[in-house]
Amino acid sequence: MRVVPGGVEVFIPHWMNANHPQVQAFIHKSLAELETHIRPTPLEITSPHTIYELVEQWSKKIGVQPQRVQIRAMYKKWGSCSNRGNITFNRALCWLPVELVEYVVVHELVHLLEFNHGKGFQHLMTTHLADWRKREETLNRDHSTYGEIC
């Protein structure tokens, strides 16, 4: 079982019946335990339109142009950048505050200039988003259930 934006995913072995009393008892018990640890979150904090707007704004500031930008469900990443210049963002970003989404957008766009996380990448991040390390820390600390930055 894991917490995802908008709810909880339950993984059941293929050989088990989801309606079996033991499985149902596990789910109900686990949900009761999780209830004390999960803060209610709004259905959507940042719209997909806002993500595309951020990409457009930051592309101009940084001086890059991605080949393609898409938003889709991703299993363990907030975003990715291919060596062909395609950027993909996790749909789960819509459940994050805009300042964290902005960090992910800048992170992926900087990869169009530095395709690694070395000193050159870090320098560019600091140049364009001075508080990026604080935002990254917040993202990793408060939202690591949903993805990781890559």
Q: What is the pLDDT of residues 93-105, one digit of tens each?
A: 988 899 999 999 9
**Is residue 119 pLDDT above 90, yes or no?**
yes
The β-bridge partners of 77 are 148
In the predicted model, is pLDDT for residue 13 greater than 90? no
Beta bridge partners of 80: 88
Q: Are 140 and 148 in contact (CB under 8 A)?
A: yes
pLDDT reported for residue 145: 58
- Least confident residue range of 2-6, 16-20, 49-53, 72-76: 2-6
Give the pTM.
0.71
Do 26 and 56 lie in a common domain?
A: no
| Boundaries of domain holding 27 | 2-35
State the average pLDDT for the chain. 87
Calculate the alpha carbon distances from 132 to 38, 41, 57, 101 in Å. Answer: 26, 24, 17, 11
Rounded Cα distance between 14 and 16, Å, is 6
In a domain, 42, yes or no: no
Are both 16 and 54 inside the same structural domain? no
Q: How far is CA 4 from CA 35, 71, 101, in A?
A: 13, 16, 17
Q: 60 with 115, same domain? A: yes
Answer yes or no: is 149 within a domain.
no
Residue percentage of the chain with pLDDT more than 70: 85
